[in-house]
Amino acid sequence: MAVNLRPLHDRVLVEPVESEETFAGGAFVLPETAKEKPQQGIVRAAGPGKFDEDGENRIPMDVSEGDRVLFAKYAGTEVKLDGKKMLIMKETDILGIVDADED
């Protein structure tokens, strides 16, 4: 999916997807209390990273385009691109990267 938005600094563009009750391989099951809170999405674009305290070097991002990520329910700012709901959020709003099950 080509996206006509380039996030700045340490921001990422995430396309939300329906979350599943279990992750790949069934290794992680969300408890009842957390089922509505975390969300999953696919990173569609990522900024170049923020600058360090000296403002001289960029700190590389831990996520990249195509990563499936888990984020808090109310994280990010919702935008519509080509009629699709997307979220722009800081990399720190991402709770983790969901690794695909490799059998």
User: What does the pLDDT profile of the chain (103 residues) look like in tens digits?
Assistant: 566 788 999 999 999 987 555 555 555 665 555 555 568 999 999 999 999 999 889 999 999 999 999 998 889 999 998 888 999 999 999 999 998 665 4
Q: What is the dihedral of CA 5, 76, 97, 81, to 10 degrees?
A: -30
Residue 39 in any domain: the answer is yes
Helix/strand/coil for 103: coil
**Residue 55 token pair:** 């403002």
Q: Is residue 30 part of a domain?
A: yes
pLDDT of 71: 93
51 within domain boundaries: yes
Is 2 contained in some domain?
A: no
Whole-number pLDDT of residue 74: 86
| CATH classification at residue 66 | 2.30.33.40
The CA–CA distances, whole Å, from 34 to 14, 15, 70, 91 equal: 20, 20, 12, 21
What distance in Å separates the CA atoms of residue 49 and residue 90, rounded to the nearest whole number?
10
Residue 103 domain flag: no
pTM of the model: 0.75
Q: Is residue 4 part of a domain?
A: no
Domain count, the chain: 1
Range of the domain at 62: 11-97
